[in-house]
Structure 1
Amino acid sequence: MKNQHSGQPAPFPEEGRPAIYPVGDVHTEAGGVVLDAAIAVQRWGELRIASDGSTNIILVEHALTGDSDAVTWWKGLIGPGLSLDTNRFCVMCTNALGGYSGSTGPSSPHPDGRPWGSRFPALSIRDLVTAERQLLDVLGIGSVAAVIGGSMGGARTLEWTLMHPERVRSAAVLAVSARASAWQIGIQSAQISAITNDPEWLNGDYHSSDGYPHEGLAAARRIAHLTYRGEQELDERFGTDAQKGENPLGEYRDPEQRFAVQSYLDHQAEKLVERFDAGSYVTLTEALNRHDIGRGRGGLNRALSEIRVPTLVTGVDTDILYPYHQQEHISRNVGELLGMAKIVSPVGHDAFLTETRQVARVLRRFLLLAADADGETSG
């Protein structure tokens, strides 16, 4: 657990300030190599290391288009006195390998100085965990108190419990499945196609051109956002209303005349295009397509049964993308179940991000149960 460059652990990141660490080459599950990779990370709260090497770190895993700034995208959950109490814990969040917020991804410079582009290897969820584990090695961190994540972050959390169980004392898995379903692969592949069929995609090498697959990424986000929100919520908010000042019921179809829900989706698409990279979107969506904790481990149920890290499982009752029955399946088969929780919300999949009060209760319960399982007092 030493920095391979200096022989000593790297300095711990300053509180609340993004830091980027070189983690060396990352060898992918499929045989590729990300040369000279770097991982971005932020932390809140003071690091404490016990005599046995255990720490008070809670490692928070972000979703598909998230980043290391967890206090922003999980607002109201991380801080002094909050459910992830930074008076007690050191909360850390990395930006996933392949992402677009400081970690090495397709838009990053290759060691030859040009963008990685189409040369960036395909990644699996396990590869994201490998890169994160290499970061902990660089920082000299042997183990963490907990790993917590939702959606793609939940997939990473599951893989942590199987790949490095000796380094994780507890885990909370939210709004994800034990493997990608055919439906998930289908809807996610449609998003990838929207991007790769954009004429400005240029086989992923647009970073070296004057163009950008804007329309493809926007279309992918519209498709995705419909899976993130609940049908009931969208219908109650928008119904068949026209966007203010527009008329979608004219004699001929006019893309400038929209229903209100179309305007909403356009807005969500533009927000993503402004802050995210199309290559990273394709890379991380492909990683989700490859998500399968049973691969090479004797199948799903056997893999789940071998999880000995105390694990809390949480789902959303209206989730279209990762239906609640998928979390029930995890809870029925996981080897060391702390408990099962349900978030009740019309919002759908994104409820694990938006239902702050319910999620806070889930996380507080998780930490109490984890402390009991670890032999600590729960006071």
Structure 2
Amino acid sequence: MGEADPAVRDQRLTLPAPLPLDSGQSLAPVEIAYQIYGTLNDARSNAILVCHALTGDQHLASPHPITGKPGWWARMVGPGKPIDTNRFHVICANVIGSCMGSSGPASIAADGKPWAMRFPVITIRDMVRAQVALLDALGIARLHAVVGGSMGGMQALSLAANFPERSAAVLVIASAPRHSAQNIAFHEVGRQAIMADPKWLGGDYYAAGKGPEAGLAVARMAAHITYLSEQGLTEKFGRRLQDRATKTFGFDADFQVESYLRHQGLSFTDRFDANSYLYITRAMDYFDLAEEHGGRLADAFAASTARFCLVSFDTDWLYPTAESRSVVHALNASGAAVSFVELSAPFGHDSFLLDVPALDRVVAGFLGIGT
């Protein structure tokens, strides 16, 4: 397939061996759902692994099967686009713990029932172990690059640190080397909203047909605020009222921004599993690359020979530029080849998903080196 074909279908792979986890447990069987765009060359040297963010999935550049919306990075991946599928073999896999085909709490366990909260707690490094096992099964020993934004950037950093021989280049966008106390706090609000919903049922809601949709919607609303910027919210909504001329003096969605957040929350429940939200946010909260490598971030990259590019956005207060700079300083200390750019965009953290032409140029330029 030489281009990002809208008709591309999920592929599934069951890993041949149990997956060891940071918790000390192992997971088996492990199924990985993934999509591929572009053709692998004879040298098997043009593969790019794109890692998705918290609520993303493998539908990178093809329509989502539930929402029908374009792939989450369709503007970036495709023929002639910055991640050019005429040149590169692009792989995107649903992370373990998620709910779009890879093994997660909604998957069926050996007893024929959903794992639910019996699913083992996972980490970012566990997600990466599963992706490396997928690459092994696909016969790809070394990637041209690993690319990710937000949680995807954490995976890219983890792969570079823990499997340094597996990628020649690492592109990390709007991410961080660990979750801050503020990040953990926002995630905990979301988890508590889910678990406080009477329909959560301790995680065993699958047979009921309806899960904790109200709690999950509130979790999504709270998180979505962190993905935006004050500037962007003001420009898009301000204090404008929603479909009315005056305030109702009640608790309906008087303001446009309220209506927007409610829509974001409710639509999210159609495509995402509440338990997966618990597991993936916990994995992000546990992420601390320096802690994994003796407490010094530079030591995480001591064995890496890859070249790196870090990108941040000036309005991203979830993973601010200082977080990317800390990675850059660590890479410099370890002797790695690294470039860094802070881009200006009004969209906040979500800038990496939106129309920022400067990002397109950075991605295309960095990935084009050595091809």
TM-score (normalizing by structure 2):
0.91
CA distances 1:68-99 after superposition (whole Å, capped 9, x unpaired): 11111112221222111112110110111111
Distance in 2, Cα, partners of 1:164 & 1:91:
19
Point out where structure 1 has 5 or more consecutive residues left out of the alignment: 1-13, 372-377
1:342 match: 342
Q: CA deviation at 1:37?
A: 0.9
Q: Does 1:229 align with 2:246?
A: no
| Per-residue deviation, residues 115-142 of structure 1 (Å, max 9, x unmatched) | 0101011110000001111111222221
User: Which shows bigger deviation, 259-268 or 19-28?
Assistant: 19-28
1:300–1:154 Cα change, 3 Å: farther
Pairs within 5 Å for 1:282-293: 282-293=278-289
Q: 1:299 is matched with which residue? A: 295
**Residue aligning to 1:36:** 29
Is residue 18 of structure 1 aligned with residue 10 of structure 2?
yes
Over 3 Å counting, the alpha-carbon distance change for 1:180 and 1:300 in structure 2 is farther
Does residue 194 in structure 1 map to residue 187 in structure 2?
no
Describe the SS at the equivalent of 2:28: strand
State the partner residue of 2:361: 361
Contact 1:76 1:356 in 2 (8 A): no
Determine helix, strand or coil for the equivalent of 1:171: strand
| Matching residue of 1:109 | 108
Deviation, 1:247, is 5.1
Could you say if the C-alpha distance between residues 20 and 351 of structure 1 is closer, same or farther in structure 2, counting changes exceeding 3 Å?
same
Distance 2:362 2:8 in 1: 24
What one-letter code is carried by the residue in structure 1 that aligns with 2:11?
Answer: A
- Going from structure 1 to structure 2, the CA distance change for 1:123 and 1:247 (only over 3 Å counts) comes to farther
Match in the other structure for 1:70: 60
Give the Cα–Cα distance (whole angstroms) in 1 for the partners of residues 247 and 164 of structure 2.
55
Change in Cα spacing, 1:209 to 1:296, as seen in structure 2 (3 Å) is same
Contact 2:75-2:81 within 8 A present in 1 as well? yes
Query: Which position in structure 2 is the counterpart of 1:260?
Result: 256
1:47 pairs with 2:40? yes
Shift in Å at residue 15 of structure 1? 8.6
- The answer for the alignment partner of 2:311 in structure 1 is 314
The answer as to whether partners of 1:247 and 1:257 remain within 8 angstroms in 2 is no
- Larger CA deviation: 191-200 vs 169-178: 191-200
SS of structure 2 residue aligned to 1:298: coil
Paired with 2:210 and 2:82, the residues of 1 have a C-alpha distance of 44
Which deviates the most, 82-91 or 353-362? 353-362
Cα deviations across residues 251-276 of structure 1 (Å, max 9, x unaligned)?
xxx33242110100011111211111
Distance in 1 (CA, whole Å) between partners of 2:38 and 2:343 is 27
Q: Which residue in 2 is equivalent to 1:58?
A: 48
The answer (yes or no) to whether the contact 2:253–2:259 under 8 Å persists in 1 is: no
Could you say which residue in structure 1 is the equivalent of 2:67? Answer: none
The secondary structure found in structure 2 opposite 1:314 is strand
Stretches of structure 2 that go unaligned for 5 or more consecutive residues are: 1-5, 62-70
Q: In structure 1, what is the Cα distance between the partners aligned to 2:337 and 2:124?
A: 22
Structure 1 length-normalised TM:
0.89
Partner of 1:333: 330
Paired with 1:212 and 1:123, the residues of 2 have a C-alpha distance of 22
Structure 1 residue 245, shift from structure 2 partner: 2.8
Q: Is the 8 A contact 1:49 1:56 kept in 2?
A: no
> Which residue identity is paired with 1:121?
P
The number of aligned residues is: 352
Q: Which residue of 2 aligns with 1:143?
A: 142
Provide the secondary structure at the position in 1 that maps to 2:359: helix
User: Is the counterpart of residue 279 in structure 1 residue 269 in structure 2?
Assistant: no
Post-superposition Cα deviations, 1:29-74, rounded to whole Å, max 9, x if no partner, equal: 0122322010011111111142xxx521000011101111111111
Q: What is the CA–CA distance in structure 2 between the aligned matches of 1:121 and 1:338, rounded to whole Å?
A: 36
Instruction: Give the stretch that moved more between structures: 311-320 or 28-37.
Output: 28-37
What secondary structure does 2:168 align onto?
Answer: coil
The alignment partner of 2:318 has SS state of coil
Q: Secondary structure of the equivalent of 1:70?
A: coil
Whether the 8 Å CA contact 2:161–2:301 is kept in 1: the answer is: no
Question: In structure 2, the residue corresponding to 1:274 is in which secondary structure?
Answer: coil
- Which amino acid is the alignment partner of residue 328 of structure 2? S
CA contact (8 A) 2:293 2:300 kept: no
Q: Which moved more, 1:211-220 or 1:21-30?
A: 21-30
Report the secondary structure of 1:319's partner residue: coil
